[in-house]
Amino acid sequence: MRLKYNFIGLILACGLGLSSCNDSFLDRNPKDQLSDASFWKNAEDAQKFATGIYLYLIEPENHTIMTDCYTDNAIPVHVTAEQGQLSAGTATSSNPHFLQLWKNAYQCIRRCLVFYEHIGDVPMDEKEKAQLTAEVQFLEAFSYANILKYMGGASLLDHPLELNEKLPSRSSEEETYNHIVGLLDKAAASLPDIRSNSDHGKPSAGACYALKARVAFYAHKYDVAEAAARKVMGMNVYGLYDNYGDLFQPVAELCNEIIFDREYLENPKNSNEGSYIGQFFAPVMMGGWEALSPTQDLIDSYPCKDGKSIRESPFYNPEDPFADRDPRLGFSVLWNGSQIAGKTFNLNNMGDGSHTRTGYSMKKYINPDNDGINNYDWTNFIYIRYAEVLLTFAEARNENLSAPDTEVYDAVNQIRQRPSVGLPPLPSGLSKDQMREAIRLERRLEFAFEGMHLFDTRSYKTTEKDVTKPVYGINAKGESIFIETRKFNANRDYLWAIPLEEVDLAQGALKQNPGWD
């Protein structure tokens, strides 16, 4: 799968006229060439069309990794760009990130609806047809799930909109959630538990239940989240990859921790075949933009190797603050003197507008073999992995019980005791509240720079407290330095705006989220 779908999708999208840079909202187009009966002749046609949908998965760079800059994990380097406005709390509904996210999701959804209109008439094996339809149902659910977590209730479509067709009003968050779960339940019934290496990157039943667990968790439906996560765990086909650092490199791309990812070609020639992750986030010394600066608050949250915080552990040495720490810190973050791609990260140009603002930079997902960033990146981006299933199970079950039981402890301790991490198990006898805090910290550290923390904190309603903390960093002398304070409007910023352009085009059908202009 990884060597095919972006290339085929590029042909479908560009060569056959499915989309262009000038697509309007929801990609209304009554003349889709691939919608013609002349195309939908056989199984190969249907598979090619379905494959093209993958091009519209949510962008890993701006709309996933960069969201850590809107939390206490990081701040953006380019403060005058769109992400700078989002981080500072000064964005308006015309911010391009809102439009890009919304439009991309509905481009994906529209193509799913076109597929449903034609797949019934395609002569092909019925089991194969059912599985292909289930793949597309997952992709539709995945796109709606992204709208839901960023912007709230979505406009739910039951057919591809034609040119000038009026957009339906937004459904409630509950209605959107129910639509997503319905799609995932239907899809799971026709998909294998896990994909073979040759089909890696396609949805599976495991992906359906893992995404269901995620959306239920964020909706505070903890009984549903626990049951869906347990379903994945009970398949006994997923596990944790031993080496946490290598998990985010090409060497691990076929491992069974990865449940659903975005796949790229090994020698990408353009942004459809490869990603911009290296270009955006690699340090300048490697040819990247160094666009994300981890905060001191995140650095200080990683415990020492005994599992105790830096305030409590005898292993913590302020003169050598990175020694004897949770190994995930070194796998995820670069600091002054760190090595990557045979080079030493330094702070010579810190704070000049093009280099780190905090004294730290992102290491996770940075491919040392792409030094110089002469190529698009070919490391697959992981949307869902088994570690999330375990921690979602643990947190949901903890919420469902009066006190954590052995199943909660076991799920969390599997994460902590990954061979390359090797932290001690959580102390026994934790209360429900203490376990909740332990799991929340574990999620923050385990999923740093993976696009999870913003939505975790939104679910906890702690984003305001987290974002408005003073941001600190460290200079080349090892001295603490104040960077900034940020704003957060609790009456507005727990959801992103519906793009202003789309609100205007909808002529009253799209209701804006509270507090946005």
Look at residue 286 and tell me if it is in a domain.
Answer: yes
Q: What percent of the chain has pLDDT over 70?
A: 93
Query: What pLDDT is recorded for position 342?
Result: 97
**Model pLDDT for residues 222-266, shown as the tens digit of each residue:** 999 999 999 999 999 999 999 999 999 999 999 999 999 999 998
Alpha helices by DSSP H, listed for 403-492, are: 406-416, 432-446, 453-460, 463-467
Of 13-17, 324-328, 394-398, give the lowest mean pLDDT range.
13-17
Cβ–Cβ < 8 Å for 6, 55: yes
Read off the pLDDT band of 37 (50, 70, 90). low
Instruction: Count structural domains, the chain.
Output: 1
Q: What is the largest CA-CA distance in the chain?
A: 72
Task: Sort strands 480-484 and 471-474 into parallel, antiparallel or unpaired.
Answer: antiparallel
pLDDT at residue 168 tops 60: yes
444 backbone φψ class: left, alpha, beta (φ>0; ψ -120 to 50): alpha
221: how many CB neighbours lie within 10 A of its CB?
Answer: 19
Q: Which domain holds residue 340?
A: 274-360
Cα separation of 360 and 350, whole Å? Answer: 9
Look at residue 338 and tell me if it is in a domain.
Answer: yes
Cβ–Cβ < 8 Å for 208, 184: yes
Query: What pLDDT is recorded for position 36?
Result: 64
413: how many CB neighbours lie within 10 A of its CB?
Answer: 18
Q: What is the pTM of this model?
A: 0.94
**Model pLDDT for residues 291-344, shown as the tens digit of each residue:** 999 999 999 999 999 999 999 999 999 999 999 999 999 999 999 999 999 999
CA distances to 1, 74, 216, 391, 436 from 444, in Å: 31, 12, 19, 11, 12
Look at residue 306 and tell me if it is in a domain.
Answer: yes
Could you tell me which residues are beta bridge partners of residue 261? 382
Average pLDDT over residues 378-407: 98
Look at residue 170 and tell me if it is in a domain.
Answer: no
Read off the pLDDT band of 375 (50, 70, 90). confident
CB-based burial label for 118 (10 Å; 0-12, 13-18, 19+)? middle
Look at residue 287 and tell me if it is in a domain.
Answer: yes
**Model pLDDT for residues 128-154, shown as the tens digit of each residue:** 999 999 999 999 999 999 999 999 999
pLDDT at residue 1 tops 70: no
Look at residue 330 and tell me if it is in a domain.
Answer: yes
Alpha helices by DSSP H, listed for 70-196, are: 82-88, 96-119, 126-151, 173-188
Cα separation of 254 and 265, whole Å? Answer: 14
Query: What pLDDT is recorded for position 358?
Result: 98
Look at residue 242 and tell me if it is in a domain.
Answer: no
pLDDT at residue 5 tops 80: no
Look at residue 120 and tell me if it is in a domain.
Answer: no
